[in-house]
Amino acid sequence: MVKKSIVMILILLTFIVGISGCTTKSATNGTFGEKSVSINSILISNNTTAATYNDSDNGSEYYYIDGYLENNNSYDAFNVKVNATAYDVNGNVVATNDSAYLNPTTIPAKGVSEFYMDFPDPNNNIVRYDVKVVYATGTLS
């Protein structure tokens, strides 16, 4: 009698776990919970601006870029990496920066995040810039 009860309990538990979804793997590209985020759908806003400033504490000149990233994906974008390149009047690369400050660091689905980047520019050579989103994931890694 005790043996039959134990067997019935094990069968019942196996059935409950089987239908609960705990053993189901919903995945994209074989990774549990991975969401598809396209970096082409994370756009640099049209109101991105740039200017120069002088740090009076150390007497250095800087060129900074300030703007917004618009996430047009259906999922939050994590681990977003942004690269910026600064050019002189002749189109020569003056500096690059791949460490943007993002706020918030996770860009909500259909949301925005402010970004900020700067470059040392002691001779005021920078006249234009290019900003690109180079990486983002749909899950935390």
User: What range defines the domain where residue 26 resides?
Assistant: 1-34
Place 3 in a pLDDT band, splitting at 50, 70 and 90.
confident
66 has pLDDT over 50: yes
| Beta-ladder partners of 120 | 62
Is 2 found in the same domain as 68? no
Which CATH number do you get for residue 77? 2.60.40.10
Q: 87-126, pLDDT tens digit by residue?
A: 999 999 999 999 999 999 999 999 999 999 999 999 999 9
Shortest CA distance to 84 belongs to which of 114, 57, 64?
A: 64
Distances (CA, A) of 83 to 6, 22, 118, 135: 61, 40, 11, 9
Contact at 8 Å (CB) between 71 and 133? no
Is 30 found in the same domain as 40? no
